[in-house]
Amino acid sequence: MKIVSWIWRLVWKTSLWFLGLSIGLVIVYRFVPVPITPLMVIRVLEQAFDAEKDVRLEKDWVSIEEISKNAPQAVVAAEDQKFLDHQGFDFEAMEKAWENNKKGKRVKGASTITQQTVKNVFLWPSRSYVRKVLEAYFTVLVELIWSKERILEVYLNVIEMGDGIYGIEAAAQVYFKKSAEKLTRGQAALIAAVLPNPRRWSPAKPTGYIQGRQTWILRQMNNLAPVGFGI
């Protein structure tokens, strides 16, 4: 009985510590720029142990006011067109993905921009059930504590946009030699087009497939109501 009691106390205390730390971190990141993410650390370690690669970590945090309005419009059009309306989860997309997966069809994932932000800022890349549960937990927290504008601001600053390139400012500088506030609609759409696999594709050297995605994204940008974030 003593062992059971000790285990219970340990689980209880650990849970309280986790709740306190996780909620505190979400509150802090509501106002403070995210300095580094688990994925950035993992990529740096992968590069460090790869003799054929140099260690590269390019990132430069900029506020949403310093980002062209074309960038938020492009990523919402490409990744999560219901972003402004849902509470972190797109249940319709999740249901469609589930049904197609059961049929063995390869389909685009149903992760929202909020979920992608959570995965980058708080978690690690994997497909485990543990990570999925934590992703859902942090998604609820972030939607409760952050504004939609803040979620998109963090997303645009931490998302992987190339090998060792993170965030819209670094991507704009590397690929187009300009700041994020100067991105055109076409350039923003190209960056959004490579997000499914940014280490395979480059906005600076778009393949025919990426050019096709760019055209589709530009069309979706026109069809969507203005997101309203950015300069």
CA pair distance 50, 99, nearest whole angstrom: 39
Is 142 in a helix, a strand, or coil? helix
The second-level CATH assignment, the architecture, of 36-223 is Orthogonal Bundle (1.10)
Q: Provide the residue ranges of all domains of the chain, joining segments of one domain with +.
A: 36-223
Which has the minimum average pLDDT: 45-54, 98-107, 209-218? 98-107
Confidence of residue 18 (pLDDT cuts 50, 70, 90): confident
| Confidence bin at 10 (pLDDT 50/70/90) | confident
What is the reported pLDDT for 199? Answer: 94
Instruction: Determine the pLDDT at residue 140.
Output: 97
* Cα diameter, the chain: 67
φ, ψ for residue 213 (rounded to 5)? Answer: -65, -40
Tell me the pLDDT tens digit for each residue of 81-90.
Answer: 999 999 998 8
Q: What is the pLDDT of residues 177-198, one digit of tens each?
A: 999 999 999 999 999 999 999 9
pLDDT, one tens digit per residue, over 43-61 is 999 999 988 888 999 999 9
**By three-state DSSP, how is residue 155 classified?**
helix
Residue type, 150: R
Q: 0.75 cut: is pTM over it?
A: yes
- Residue 118 belongs to what H/E stretch? helix 113-122
The token pair that represents 184 in the structure block:
């055109």
For residues 159-182, one letter each, b for 16 or more C-beta atoms within 10 angstroms of the residue's C-beta and e for the rest, the string is bbbbebbbbbbbbbbbbbeebbbe
User: pLDDT category, 103, cuts 50, 70, 90?
Assistant: low
Q: What is the pLDDT of residue 107?
A: 53
| Cα distances (Å, whole numbers) of residue 158 to 8, 40, 223 | 38, 9, 27
